Amino acid sequence: MTQKNNKHRQSSGREACGGGEIKAPPAQAAKAEFQDGFSTRAIHAGQHPDPATGAIVTPVYLTSTYVQEEVGVTKGYDYSRGGNPTRTALEKNVASLEGGHSAFAFGSGMAAITTLLLDYDAGAHVVVSRNVYGGTFRLFERVSKRHGFHFSFVDARDPQIVEKAFTPQTKLLFLETPTNPMMELADIAALSRLAHARGAKVAVDNTFLTPYFQRPLEQGADYVIHSATKYIGGHSDVVGGLAVTKTAEDADRLHFLQMSIGAILSPFDSWLLLRGLKTLAVRMREHAKNATAIARYLEKHAKVKRVLFPALESHPQFELARRQSSGPGGLLSFELDGGQREAKRFVESTRVCSLAESLGAVETLISIPSLMTHASVPKPQREALGITDNLIRISVGIEDEADLLADLAQAFTRC
């Protein structure tokens, strides 16, 4: 997939980093290069053998600037804030996997969300699913409000509640589905229709299911967001974020914002994410298999009050989960019979599951949301969201299923 003509004269199109005019870096307009399946694209899309050496792996282009053949004639890059070939490969790959027009890589998931939000003017109103990631809530409520944005946090399980929150100033519906740790789902297709009829766009944070299990753009959303720190990277060794657009127009604006705000992903971190993506499909299958086995085990356990996992028939939105995603991912929560003391003893007794925040990596991580990720949310508000003191969350990794089940069994005997 080498470029036919890799000379670019700075003439029309998007602006260069220095403020002059330049054609977009060749990364953009990255519709699937192959009509191939997901795993094939995860391994190959956006990547070509290195033209100089034949190296099969995309190099880490550690460069800030690019030599111009004549004034204004480049090979598509002029400065690495605006575009870098390693980041380009990652962005093309992710655009292909999400079925989008273009993807943009950022230094973190929060940087991706911030950049998307800055596409709107002060005064804009955003409807947000309650129970979004705490950092997203903090960015919206404690940072962006000061700059004139308005937010309504709603139970996005119910389209009527979402509809009621819309005002004439609503520009964006921001969904996270499923949510964490409560595993609440929002109907992407129905809510996209609702938002579009009111002139608003829809962004879906797809961190938990990844494009392997859920592709929001195909269901009507306009943007997909990722904390690539999680399943996309998959190995607990990189912090990164992604925003994917469905249309060329949105891609132009997001590229302009990415370059102007500058919260970009480094070439090395781009390379780590490319490496992670090559095994995304196999990892997601293993995460889902192990998580399903654990959910079924917990559901039958006498010391467990209830299990929250979208692939269980007992999940109140089981049918929606089946309709809009092809698998459940690796996150689950459960309520232990007892209080915080018992929950603490349980998570401190595991041997294979590590007591830690974060999620989406090969290692199984266990946590108590009320004491860890959601400790800053006041107790009454936490409980209103269902985050009780005895709720335990597991980000199920890809260790041996039998070892994980045995680990949980021995933890039960200690609490």
Ligand X SMILES: Cc1ncc(COP(=O)(O)O)c(C=O)c1O
Q: Which is nearer to ligand X, 74 or 180 (CB)?
A: 180
Fill in the DSSP letter of residue 19.
S
Q: Which is nearer to ligand X, 77 or 133 (CB)?
A: 133
Q: Which is nearer to ligand X, 392 or 411 (CB)?
A: 392
Q: Least distance in Å: CB of 262 to ligand X?
A: 16
Amino acid at 162: V
Q: Least distance in Å: CB of 347 to ligand X?
A: 18
| CB proximity list for 150: less than 8 A, separation 6 or greater | 123, 124, 125, 126, 169
Which strands form 391-395's sheet, in the order they lie side by side? 304-308, 331-336, 391-395, 365-367, 354-355
Q: Least distance in Å: CB of 361 to ligand X?
A: 12
Q: Least distance in Å: CB of 359 to ligand X?
A: 7
Rounded Cα distance between 243 and 100, Å, is: 10
Phi, psi angles (nearest 5°) of residue 136: -70, -45
Least Cα distance to 315 among 298, 339, 302 occurs for 298
Q: Least distance in Å: CB of 116 to ligand X?
A: 12
CB-based burial of residue 235 (10 Å sphere; 0-12 exposed, 13-18 middle, 19+ buried)? middle
**Helical segments of 14-170, H only:** 38-44, 85-98, 109-117, 134-138, 159-165
> Is the CB of residue 193 less than 8 Å from the CB of residue 69?
no
Task: For residue 328, give Cα distances in angstroms to 133, 211, 314, 324, 410.
Answer: 18, 12, 14, 10, 26
Q: Which is nearer to ligand X, 176 or 335 (CB)?
A: 176
Q: Where on the chain is the footprint of ligand X (CB under 6 A)?
A: 108-110, 133, 135-136, 176, 205, 207, 227, 229, 239, 241
Other beta carbons less than 10 A from residue 94's beta carbon: 29
Q: Which is nearer to ligand X, 200 or 239 (CB)?
A: 239
Q: Least distance in Å: CB of 328 to ligand X?
A: 16
Amino acid at 1: M
The set of catalytic residues is 81, 133, 205, 230
- Residue of this chain nearest to ligand X (CB atom): 109
- Whether the bond between 181 and the residue before it is cis, its omega within 30 degrees of 0, is yes
Q: Least distance in Å: CB of 83 to ligand X?
A: 21
> Is the CB of residue 373 less than 8 Å from the CB of residue 391?
no
| CB proximity list for 260: less than 8 A, separation 6 or greater | none
Q: Least distance in Å: CB of 182 to ligand X?
A: 13
What 3-state class would DSSP assign to 271?
helix
Q: Which is nearer to ligand X, 72 or 134 (CB)?
A: 134
Q: How far is CA 172 from the centre of its chain?
A: 17
Q: Where are the beta strands (DSSP E) in 53-207?
A: 73-74, 102-106, 125-129, 150-154, 170-176, 201-205
